[in-house]
Structure 1
Amino acid sequence: MHVQFPPKLAVLQAFWDEKLGASSPGTCLCQKSPGSMDEEESLESKTQDDTTELATHSSDDMLYCEAEAPSNVEKEKTTQEDSETDLEIEDTERYYTTGQKELYLEACKLMGVVPASYFLRNMEEPHMNLNHHGLGPKGTKAIAIALVSNTTIIKLELEYNCITEEGVLSLVEMLQENYYLQELNISNNKIGLEGAKIISDFLQGNTSSLSKLKLSGNNFKEDSAVLLCQAMSSNYRIKTLALSHNDFSDIGGEQLGQMLGFNVGLQSLDLSWNHFHTQGAIALCNGLRTNVTLKTLDLSMNGLGNEGALALGEVLKINSCLCYLDVSSNNINNEGATRISRGLELNETLQVLKLFLNPMSMEGAVVLIMSIKKNLKSKMEELDIANVLVTEQFIRILDGVCAIHPQLDVVHNTMQGISTRKTFLKWTNPMKLIQSYADEQKITVLEFLKSLNPTGSTTMPVGEFRKALVQQNKVPINRYQVRELIKKLDEKKGIVDFRKR
C-alpha cells in the first residue's frame, strides 16, 4: 500500500514518492492491503517467522503510518470496550511509540542523515530540546515527518541547527497537520529572506496551535520585517514572538509599529539587539498607543536615545496594558529619564522598568522614583538602574517612596562608604529570621509564608509578596533582605514559589 500523507503535506508526500517510487510502494503496517488474502497471509506469516528480518527490512517492505490504528490490533479488540485491561492499553500505546520511532528511522535512512538519539529517547516528553544538534535541512525534514503524528511534544527547540529555508518549509508543512505543538524555537538558523517568506505565508493562514515563536538571530533585514509584520497584522494566535539579534532598523521599526497597531493577539515581543533609533522608536510607540494586548516589550540594546524616551513617556501616559518594559542600554541620560518619568506619573499598569546600562546619574534616578511616589495608583514593582551610583540622600528619599509603595524594589549601585553598604554584610539571613520565628510559634516556614498569601496557596506574585513581607510585623526584615529572600524562592516570571525554599 502506498503511504498517504494528509493532502496539505504535498512536499513530504513528494519526498516519499520520489524516494520509494510509484512502481514499488511500501507496505503500511497500519492498514490492510486491498490485494489478495494470499498477500496478507504471506505478510503475517513473514512477520511471525522472522522478527529480526522485519527489523532490518528495506523501506519498500516496512513503513509505519500513524494516521490510523493497526488493523490487526483492531481485529483483536472485543466489542466490549470496557473489558480492555490496563495491560492491553499499555501494549497498544507501546505499538504506536515504536511505529513513530521506526518512521523517524526510515526517514533518516532515506534522507541520508544520522538519527538524533536524543529525539528517539524523548519522543514521549512534552519538551524536545534539539539545540546544537547539527541537523541541517535534511535532518530537520526527518524530524518534521516524525512529528506529523506526534501528540506529546508541545515545545520544540531547534536553535543553531543551520536548517535554512528548506528546513523551515518542512516545519511549516508539519505544523499544518500537527495540532499539538505550541512552542517553536528556530533562532540562529540562517533563515534569511526566503525563510521569512515561508514563515509569513504560514502565519497568514495559521491554523495550528502554535502560540510561541522564536526567530532571533536569523539575518532578518528590513525586507523580512515587511513580510513578517504583514502576516502578524492579522494573526491572533501567536502570543509570544522573539525577533532579537536581527538587522531591523528604522524601516523595520515603522513596520513593527504598524503591526502593533493592528495586532490583537500578541502579548510578548522581544526586539532587543537590533538597530532602532529615533525614527524607529517613535514609529513603535505610535503602534503602542492603540495596542491593547501587548504586556511585555524588550527594546534593550538598541539606540532609542532621549527622543525615543520622550515617545515612550508619552505612550506610558495612555497605555493601559504594558506591564514589562526593558530599555536597557539605549543611550538614555537624565533628560531621557525625565521624559519617561512624566509617563510614570500617570501610568497604572507598568510593573517592571529596566533602565540598566544607560548614561544617567543619581539626578535622573531621583526624578524616576519621585514620579512613582506622585502616582498613588502606580503598580511599579521593580525599577532597574543597577549601574547608577547613589548616596545616602537617595536612600532616604527611596525609603519615603517605598513607604507609599511597599511593593517597589529599586535596584541601584551604592557608593562605597555609606552606611547601607557597611551594614549590608551584617544583615541576618532572612530565611534564618523566619525559621527562628516559626520555631517559636511551633509552625513550619511554609505555614508562615502561606499565611502572607490571602489565598493560602504556595505561590504568590512578587509585588504582593514583597508588600506583605514589608508590612508584616512578626519578623523584622527590610526590603534588601526581602530581595534576597525572593531570589532564594526561585522567582520566575513575577511569581515566587514557597516550596522552593
Structure 2
Amino acid sequence: MVVAIENEKHNWQNLNKHLCSKLKTFGDSAQRPEVVKRTCGVMMDQCEEEEEQQPSDQSVLLTGSQEQVEDQETPTQGQESNSGDEWDTDLETDSATDPKQSLSRAELYLQACQRTGSVPVSSFLHNLADTNLNLNHYGVGPLGAKALAIVLKTDNIITNLEMEENSLGPEGTRYLTEMLQTNITIESLNLSNNQLGQEGAYIISKMLSDNYYVKSIKLSGNGFDVSAAKYLADALKGDYVMKELDLSHNMFSITGGEHLGHMLAANVGIEVLNLSWNPLRMGGAMAVSAGLKENSTLKQLDLSWNSFGQMEAESLGQALKHNRTLVLLDLSGNYLDDQAVTLLCQGLNTNDTLGVLKLSHNPMTNTGALTLLKTVQNNMKSALEEIDISTVFVNEEFVELLEEVRQRRPALGVRHTTMSSVTRNLSALRILRKSLSERNESILDFFEALDKEGTTKVSTSDFRKAVKAANIPLDQQQLEWLIRKFDKSCTATIIYRSLHPPERCQLCLRLGHRVLHLILSIQK
C-alpha cells in the first residue's frame, strides 16, 4: 500500500512539473482555482518563483470574471432538479472559438473541470493516448460528465467510453449525448448502473434516433420500466447502426417485453442483445419470440434469469423453427423442466444455425438432458457444438449416448455433472475388456465359453459367478451395473448377440465364418 501511494505521488509530481508552466495562464496564486491545485497534488507554491506577478495578454482563457463563470456554469439546486432543455448543456469552449490559443487535451480538461467545478479524474490524464477510456466506478457525477463532454466533443482518439456506476443520472447523460452529436469516433458506450430511469431512457432514445456512429451501448441496471422500454424500442425500430445492446438487470416486465419484441421484429442491425434479469415472462416472452422469428440479423440472445417456463419454451421452440441467424441462446436460470426442454426441442429438431445453447440452473433432470441429446443426434443438420447443462446430474445412459454421438460429431461439447458412482460404473466395461484381453480373450469369447449349447444366451447368475471365478477386479456395484447393462429387459438372461455394436460385430463375424465353413464342407 505504501509503495502504491509513493508511486501515485511520484506520478502527480511529474504531471505537476509538466503543467506548472502552463498554469501561468490562470493568474496569480490567489486567483488560481482550488480544483487545479488538487489535481496537481502538489502545492503550487513550487511554481511561485517561476511565475510573473502580472498575467500576460493571453493569460485569461475564460470569458468574463471568475464570478461570472461560477454564475453561468454552476447549476442551482433548482436547475439540478429540472429536466429536459432547462439544463445548461452548452459544451463550447473558449479555446475552440479563439484560434490564437491551442490547448493540449490535458489543459483543456483541467480548464473544463475549473469551469464546471468538478474534480479531475487522474485516470483520464494518465491515459490520454488510449483509445479505450475506462472511467468505471470513479464517481464522476453530472458535472464531471460535462467536463469530459467538453473535451470529447472534438476528440478523435477514444473509440470506447466506459462510464459505468458514476451517478450520472439524466443530467450527466444529457451532457454525454450532446457530445455525441459532434463526436464521430466513439463507437462503444457503457452507461450501466447510473440511475438513468425513465427520463434517462428518453434522452438515450433521442440520441439513438439520430445515431450514425455508436454501435454498442450498455444500459444495464438503470431502473428502466415499461415507459423506458417503449422509448428505446421506438428509437430502434428500423435501426441498422446499433449492433450490440445490453438492457439486462432492468424492470421491463411483460408489457416492456412486448415493446422490445416488436422492436426486434423490425430492427435490421442488432446482432447481440442481452435481456437477462428482466421479468419478461408470458406475453413479454412470447413477443420476444415472435420478434426472433421475424428477425434476420440477431446472432446472440441472452434471456437468462427471466422466469421462463413451459409456455415461454414452447414459443421459443417455434421461433427456432424459422430463425436462421441466431448462433447463441442463453436460457440459464429459468424454470425450464423436462417438459419445457421437450417443447424447446421442437424447434431444435430442424434448426441448423444455433451453435451454443446454455441451460444451466434450470430444474431439468437427466430425462430432459437425454431428450436434448437425442434431438441433436437425430437432426443431421444441427449446428450445436456447445451445450451447457452443467447443473444437471446425468447417469450412465446419457454418458454412453454422448460418446456415441461424438463418434459422428467429435466437435460436440456438453458440460454436465456426473456423480462419482456413475464414473465408476462406466469404467466397469473397460475393466472387463482389459482383464479379458490380458488373457487373450474378448467379451464374446467369455460368453461363448458359458454358452455350452450355443443358444447365444447366458443367465445372469452364471455370468455373475464366472466374473467372480475369473478374479476380474470389479466391485459388487460395478458388477450389478454390468448385468443391468447386458440385461436391459430384466429377464435374468443376457442375450449376448444383442450386445454393444463392437461385440455384436465380432459375433456376426464368427457366425459368418461358421456358416461359410459349413457351406464349404457340404460342397466337398
User: Shorter-chain TM-score: what band?
Assistant: 0.5 to 0.7
| Matched position secondary structure for 2:258 | helix
Residue of structure 2 equivalent to 1:266: 270
In 2: Cα distance, 1:329 partner to 1:210 partner: 31
CA displacement 1:348-392 (0-9 Å, x = unmatched): 100100001000000000000110111111111111001100122
AA of the residue aligned to 1:265: G
- Please list every run of 5 or more consecutive structure 1 residues that lacks an aligned counterpart in the other structure: 1-47, 73-95, 424-501
CA contact (8 A) 2:63 2:94 kept: no
Residue of structure 1 equivalent to 2:104: 99
1:382 to 386, 390, 395: 386
Residue of structure 2 equivalent to 1:59: 62
In 2: Cα distance, 1:114 partner to 1:180 partner: 25
CA displacement 1:371-422 (0-9 Å, x = unmatched): 0111111111111001100122211000111122221100001112233799
Residue of structure 1 equivalent to 2:313: 309
Residue of structure 1 equivalent to 2:115: 110
AA of the residue aligned to 2:389: I
Identity of aligned residues (%): 42
In 2: Cα distance, 1:107 partner to 1:387 partner: 52
Do structure 1's residue 224 and structure 2's residue 228 form an aligned pair? yes
CA displacement 1:425-447 (0-9 Å, x = unmatched): xxxxxxxxxxxxxxxxxxxxxxx
Residue of structure 2 equivalent to 1:361: 365
CA contact (8 A) 1:316 1:343 kept: yes
Change (3 A) 1:177 1:421: farther
CA contact (8 A) 1:328 1:358 kept: yes
AA of the residue aligned to 2:197: G
In 2: Cα distance, 1:156 partner to 1:322 partner: 28
Change (3 A) 1:422 1:146: farther
Residue of structure 2 equivalent to 1:496: none
Residue of structure 1 equivalent to 2:409: 405
CA displacement 1:13-39 (0-9 Å, x = unmatched): xxxxxxxxxxxxxxxxxxxxxxxxxxx
Residue of structure 2 equivalent to 1:149: 154
CA contact (8 A) 1:67 1:149 kept: no
Change (3 A) 1:105 1:371: same
CA displacement 1:84-141 (0-9 Å, x = unmatched): xxxxxxxxxxxx7x52211111110111111001111112101111011111100001
Change (3 A) 1:305 1:201: same
Q: CA deviation at 1:59?
A: 2.4
Q: CA deviation at 1:236?
A: 1.3
Residue pairs, 1:72-471, within 5 angstroms: 99-207=104-212, 209-419=213-423
| Matched position secondary structure for 2:104 | helix
Detail structure 1 runs of 4+ shifted over 4 Å in the superposition: 48-58, 61-64, 420-423
Q: Under a length normalisation based on structure 1, what TM-score does the superposition of the two structures give? A: 0.66
CA contact (8 A) 2:229 2:260 kept: yes
CA contact (8 A) 2:396 2:426 kept: no
AA of the residue aligned to 2:338: N
| Matched position secondary structure for 1:231 | helix
In 2: Cα distance, 1:206 partner to 1:165 partner: 18
| Matched position secondary structure for 1:220 | coil
CA displacement 1:288-325 (0-9 Å, x = unmatched): 11100000000001111111000111111111000000
Q: CA deviation at 1:185?
A: 0.1
In 2: Cα distance, 1:202 partner to 1:363 partner: 49
Q: CA deviation at 1:67?
A: 8.5
CA contact (8 A) 1:328 1:357 kept: yes
Residue of structure 2 equivalent to 1:456: none
- Please list every run of 5 or more consecutive structure 2 residues that lacks an aligned counterpart in the other structure: 1-49, 66-92, 428-524
Residue of structure 2 equivalent to 1:468: none
In 2: Cα distance, 1:286 partner to 1:299 partner: 14
In 1: Cα distance, 2:407 partner to 2:117 partner: 67
Q: CA deviation at 1:51?
A: 12
CA displacement 1:181-217 (0-9 Å, x = unmatched): 000000000001111111111111223x110000000
In 2: Cα distance, 1:234 partner to 1:195 partner: 22
Q: CA deviation at 1:278?
A: 1.7
In 1: Cα distance, 2:288 partner to 2:217 partner: 20
In 1: Cα distance, 2:131 partner to 2:424 partner: 47
In 2: Cα distance, 1:52 partner to 1:418 partner: 86
CA displacement 1:32-91 (0-9 Å, x = unmatched): xxxxxxxxxxxxxxxx996996798562499663689x669xxxxxxxxxxxxxxxxxxx
In 2: Cα distance, 1:401 partner to 1:339 partner: 22
Change (3 A) 1:343 1:112: same
